[in-house]
Amino acid sequence: MKITTEQIQDFNKAGLGSHKENFDFLANKLTQNGHNVEAILSKLADFQIAIPSWALGAGGTRFGRFSFYGEPSSLEQKIEDIGLIHSLTQTAGAVSLHIPWDVPQDYNAVKELAQSLDIKFDAVNSNTFQDQKDSKYSYKYGSLSNIEKEVREQAIQHNIDVINIGNKLGSKALTVWLADGSCFPGQNNFQAALQNTQDSLKDIYKGLPEDWKMLIEYKPYEPNFYSTVIQDWGTSYMLANECGEKALSLVDLGHHLPNSNIEQIVSILMLKGKLGGFHFNDSKYGDDDLTAGSIKPYALFLIFNELVYGMANNPQNPDLAWMIDASHNVKDPLEDLIQSLEAIQEAFAKALLVDQAALKAAQLAHDVIKCQEILQGAYRTDVRPLLEKARLNRGGVISPINAFRSLDVRNGLIKERGRNSVATGL
């Protein structure tokens, strides 16, 4: 299934008048306040977020999973799904593959398909938290951190394999999420586990092509419930430093202890030139993997405020890899992704409205009231017309959710794939 330019133009017709009115009013106000609206639109248009290949079907919990309909059952179908989202939103121009779930059968075909949909291959993800049917050693007691050399070597080799697969597709980064840890006090020697992990990461790093990055994720708990080897940004940062300059930390918003100040972590990592990428989602309790912006949109804005600041002021930090990492337990996965994309763009747009010069002046004057007024002034602005405009400029639709429904995309997919197709993933 593919959405045509005609369908998009048709859909937009009805809303264009109202959009123009709203946009002009807002753009005028912003211009009066010294903002460069064109520059903002251009940044929004350039901001592309990768969709993970494992998040195109329904998600679940250890207590079960309620399937959705018309899920993609092959890598090609997954890419087609992203193509659908991208054609509507114009912000999902990349896919992040998970190996071994997404090993291409025909590399050229897959590349051509992606190219035809304007989709790039972002970071590739390895999986050493599950055992594969054909694997010799089990990861039950750890992979890169395992005390047994054979297990570590198998896990290292898997990461090298993943790099090679990604390399054939045009990816430029490997994301390592290491679930290793322990469920009970005493199970692991913390020091040995970290040392082994460091050595394993260094071995993988050696296999990294010159123009690649290695992104090291951290997480305090789950699936291990007593300790995790890379439990926080400090550990990830330490490991990235040990590996070398192509190794960077990756922040997943759900991977923090309660009440963490994530924006500060983001800011400090950028100061040190070590922030490599982002996994967007939202959460209330743990790694809930909810739609981005659905629970704490102001926190998302504050994070983008630091990102915008860092991208302008921290040349020492490389370009960032952006990805959604959410689970769709009760929503249509494609609609859910559209809501996440919208929320992320919204946070970015609002952060672009922060008057950095005025903020700095207020900070220098210890004018805390003013600092808050500046941030909240930007946040309170209704930026939806900007997002619409940015999408329209690139050939997308005014309202992606409405278009998705109006074009009856899900039923189209069900017709093509059947009601009970199931996507690989969690």
Chain residues 83-102 in contact with a second copy, contact rule CB under 8 A:
none
Kindly tell me which of 109 and 183 has the beta carbon lying closer to a second copy. 183
Residues 27-56 close enough to bind a second copy by CB under 8 A: 29
Min separation Cβ 308 and a second copy, Å: 13
SS3 215: strand
Query: Counting contacts by CB under 8 A, is residue 107 touching a second copy?
Result: no
Is 81 in contact with 334 (CB distance < 8 Å)? yes
Residues 221-240 close enough to bind a second copy by CB under 8 A: 221-223, 225-227, 231-235, 237-238
CA-closest candidate to residue 224, choices 193, 250, 269: 193
Is 282 in contact with 294 (CB distance < 8 Å)? yes
Kindly tell me which of 117 and 145 has the beta carbon lying closer to a second copy. 145
Query: Counting contacts by CB under 8 A, is residue 260 touching a second copy?
Result: yes
How distant, in Å, are the alpha carbons of 64, 194, 321, 332, 360 from that of 293? 25, 34, 19, 17, 27
Element (H, E) at 202: helix 190-206
Query: Counting contacts by CB under 8 A, is residue 333 touching a second copy?
Result: no
Min separation Cβ 411 and a second copy, Å: 15
Query: Counting contacts by CB under 8 A, is residue 135 touching a second copy?
Result: no
Count of residues in contact with a second copy, rule CB under 8 A:
108
Kindly tell me which of 121 and 218 has the beta carbon lying closer to a second copy. 218
Here the tokens at position 80 are: 């087609």
Min separation Cβ 256 and a second copy, Å: 8
Min separation Cβ 358 and a second copy, Å: 11
User: Can you name the residues that pair with 247 across neighbouring β-strands?
Assistant: 214
Whether omega before 400 lies within 30 degrees of 0, making that bond cis, reads no
Interface map 143-182 toward a second copy (x if CB under 8 A): ----x-------------------------------x--x
Q: Beta strand 64-65 with 60-61: parallel, antiparallel or unpaired?
A: antiparallel
The count of residues in the chain is: 426
Kindly tell me which of 1 and 268 has the beta carbon lying closer to a second copy. 268
Residues 274-303 close enough to bind a second copy by CB under 8 A: 283-286, 288-291, 293-299, 302
Gap between the Cα atoms of 399 and 387, Å rounded:
9
Phi then psi dihedrals of residue 386, to 5 deg: -65, -40
Which of 6, 13, 17, 63: binder of a second copy (CB under 8 A)?
Answer: 63
Is 139 in contact with 120 (CB distance < 8 Å)? no
Which of 35, 384, 389, 391: binder of a second copy (CB under 8 A)?
Answer: 384
Which of 37, 113, 160, 371: binder of a second copy (CB under 8 A)?
Answer: 371
Here the tokens at position 389 are: 């405009």
Is 165 in contact with 212 (CB distance < 8 Å)? no
